[in-house]
Amino acid sequence: MDRRQMMTGAAAALTSSSTLLSGTAFGSPMTADNAARPKPPVAKKIPKTITQLGRTRTDDYAWMKDDNWQKVLRDPSLIKADVKEHLTEENAYTKAMLAPTEALQAAMFEEMKGRIKQDDASVPAKDGPFEYYTRYDKGAQHPIHARKPVSGGAEEVLLDEEKESKGKAFYQVGAATHSPDHKLYAFAVDEQGSEVYRILVKDLATGAVLGEPVESTTGDFCFSPDGQWLFWTFRDDNGRPAKIYRRPIKGAAKDDVLIYDEPDEGFFIGVGVSSSEKYVVISCGNQETSEALLIPAADPTAKPMVFHPREVGLRYEVEHWNDHWVIRTNADGAVDWKLVTAPESATGKANWKDWVAHKSGRLISGTMAFKAWFVRLEKVDALNRVVVTAKDGAEHAIAFDEAAYALSLEGGYEYDTDTVRFVYNSMTTPRQWFDYDMKSRQRTLRKTQEIPSGHDPSKYETRRLNAKAADGAEVPIFVLMKKGTKLDGSAPLLLYGYGSYGISMEPNFSIRNFSLVDRGWIWATACPRGGSEKGWSWFLDGKKFKKKNTFTDFIACAEHLHAAGYGKPANTVAYGGSAGGLLMGAITNMRPDLFTGIIAAVPFVDVVNTMSDTTLPLTPPEWPEWGNPLEDKEAYDYIASYSPYDNIGAKPYPAVLATGGLSDPRVTYWEPQKWVAKLRPATTSGNPVLLKINMEAGHGGASGRFDFLKEIALDYAFAVWAVEKGWTKA
């Protein structure tokens, strides 16, 4: 992309922190009289009484859930009229309230866009005679999938997403890959944001799509190693992965063969191929129990064989390595996982032998197998490291210097290679792609993330802090700020958090966050229990009947930061999405005094109702995480004690922005809609409560790489607006 000035005219005036924090950043003057504010929508109340396990609750806004929501996910035009009318009014109110920030939103969007290399390309991944990669044309929202011969030659376009997306409000490719013989290209497409994918297989010689598209899938699929069959995961009417099918490459729906039907509605399933390409592997499981089934590549139509029968509480993942299996498992109390081996022909647990022993606090989070090497990714005290093991058992770790960094492995296609690729970055350092020679131990830098508008890491600093929770637990916090930022409480603070499902927050480089940091903000990422930053025990201490630890840990982080001069309640905005939106809802009820603004993106806030609704995609699979309020009185009472929607009271709430997507199957649109409807009349502070629902997208928001940034820019502009109390001034 050509370097260019990102802001001109009035927008340029918004770049200085003094302007944005002086109360004059929002355009022409307006009266400070709150009576001049737009009037918020008032949601009708239709009380619905629900009796469950001897407990009774009344839900005034249950009507917001469309009874035909599954059909609405696939076709939003079917949504019932009163729900659509209310959502339209809410969107209009939010637009009117945030109108004074539109110049700021535009400026931030252009800044974020300016940090993206418009004609960017991935590092090519070699597979036999070709190198495969994706790239963007200038201005394109979606990538081109392409390849070139290793020996040299012209590029061949495999899939042009930008072309295919024309005229569509939403277009997202969930997975794409070539067949083992390089003659076909398969890809899964979602054109609604509902995560209902169709899979198409393209003949690369003719450009024609073979057979019929595979409908109603999760987007998960693989070719058989002989390239003659397609395996995929079927998505049922409740949005769950329920079955695995097989189809001949040139076949149609009439040729589909059901090869696995998951009996437990609480299990997720998927299908893939072992790195050795000797087996098709079906993986099944929830957060507590797992099971794998095998299909020999030499006989792809064979009946799947169980690797080891599921046992409640036993989790395992399998990888075939040469003539045996390597299993990552929590067996025998290995909370942070260990690696065991088993003979290729005797896979049952009785044959498992310890290989890499369990070590408390060292989370073995992932593995990769190569013909002569085995690689594992470990996390210790919130930081990752890569460990390489040779066939003879000798191992070494790849070392890094920064105190806080993010590290990930990037999968390739080839099994017989000495090269593994990893990606390194930190909150100040853009991403770097390295090819690491496991034999010579030399690393080759293949690409550095380019920031066209410029980035000087020396102008920023990142810190690793620890907040002490009430029970003494040390909660990690990663901080990014401009060098020289005064730690006297004057700099505004954005505190981000998630804390669920064992997902770790990493100190990643983000092209987005600098639009706040460059304006004098401090960005802090909290790592409360519920994630796995400090091992799997960190997750276990923040789930089910210990879920409140997630909320109190986040509160402890806010208090610690304030005490150390990183912001103060009057200029602190909390930010989280999905299960992180649950976190936002909970801390808003528990400690509204600690924050001046809350951004809750696709927030999971209606926990009792959602976890009692077995038709929703994630409800049965997530009972191990939250508890089952349909059958367990203790679970019901505990969930009800923190569920944000059920604990709203007359309190001085901060300003709130809740966002969602009409086609979202994970956190359905009515959760933020109901939360806002109940929260707005309850707040005693006079602070606004806003709702923005994307009527053309799902859980992840807009699909284009630039359009998505507009949504982030709105979030960040709201944060500035909340600190500035933008609703009382222009």
Digit-coded pLDDT (tens) for 227-254: 999 999 999 988 899 999 999 998 999 9
* pLDDT(661) > 50: yes
pLDDT at 71: 87
Q: Taking residues 260-277, what's their average pLDDT?
A: 96
Q: Taking residues 442-467, what's their average pLDDT?
A: 96
* pLDDT(93) > 90: yes
In whole angstroms, what is the distance from residue 648 CA to residue 585 CA?
A: 9
Q: Which residues pair with 482 in a beta bridge?
A: 460
pLDDT at 728: 85
In whole angstroms, what is the distance from residue 363 CA to residue 150 CA?
A: 38
pLDDT at 545: 98
Digit-coded pLDDT (tens) for 559-589: 999 999 999 999 999 999 999 999 999 999 9
* pLDDT(387) > 70: yes
For 206-243, letters b (16+ CB in 10 Å) and e give eeeebbbbbeebbbbbbbbbebebbbbbbbeebbbbbb
pLDDT at 18: 27
* pLDDT(10) > 50: no
Residue 485 carries which side chain, given as an amino acid letter?
T
Residue 729: pLDDT band (50, 70, 90) is: low
Residue 438: pLDDT band (50, 70, 90) is: very high
Q: Taking residues 38-42, what's their average pLDDT?
A: 96
pLDDT at 280: 98
* pLDDT(24) > 90: no
* pLDDT(401) > 50: yes
Catalytic residue numbers read: 578, 664, 699
Residue 537: pLDDT band (50, 70, 90) is: very high
Contact 369, 415 (CB under 8 A): yes
Q: Taking residues 417-445, what's their average pLDDT?
A: 97
Contact 553, 529 (CB under 8 A): yes
Contact 6, 111 (CB under 8 A): yes
Domains of the chain: 49-113+454-728 (3.40.50.1820), 132-392 (2.130.10.120)
Q: Taking residues 300-313, what's their average pLDDT?
A: 97
- Other residues' Cβ atoms within 10 Å of the Cβ of residue 365: 20
Residue reference for tokens 């150390």? 564
DSSP, collapsed to helix, strand or coil, labels residue 279 as strand
Residue 32 C-alpha from the chain's centroid: 39
In whole angstroms, what is the distance from residue 656 CA to residue 400 CA?
A: 40
pLDDT at 16: 28
Q: Parallel, antiparallel, or unpaired: how do β-strands 474-482 and 460-468 relate?
A: antiparallel
Could you tell me the two tokens for 462?
């990142």
Residue reference for tokens 């929202």? 141
* pLDDT(175) > 90: yes
Q: Which of 566, 574, 520 is nearest to 14 (CA)?
A: 520
DSSP, collapsed to helix, strand or coil, labels residue 542 as coil
pLDDT at 30: 30
Q: Parallel, antiparallel, or unpaired: how do β-strands 395-398 and 406-410 relate?
A: unpaired
Please state, rounded to an integer, the average pLDDT across all residues of the chain.
92
* pLDDT(12) > 80: no
Q: Parallel, antiparallel, or unpaired: how do β-strands 493-496 and 572-577 relate?
A: parallel
* pLDDT(19) > 50: no
Digit-coded pLDDT (tens) for 595-652: 999 999 999 999 999 999 999 988 999 999 999 999 999 999 999 999 999 999 999 9
Contact 343, 392 (CB under 8 A): no
pLDDT at 665: 85
Share of the chain above pLDDT 90, in %: 87
In whole angstroms, what is the distance from residue 228 CA to residue 298 CA?
A: 11
* 72 or 202: which leads in pLDDT: 202
* pLDDT(23) > 70: no
Residue 312 C-alpha from the chain's centroid: 27
Contact 661, 701 (CB under 8 A): yes
* pLDDT(5) > 80: no
Q: Which of 27, 157, 105 is nearest to 707 (CA)?
A: 105
Q: Taking residues 296-306, what's their average pLDDT?
A: 97
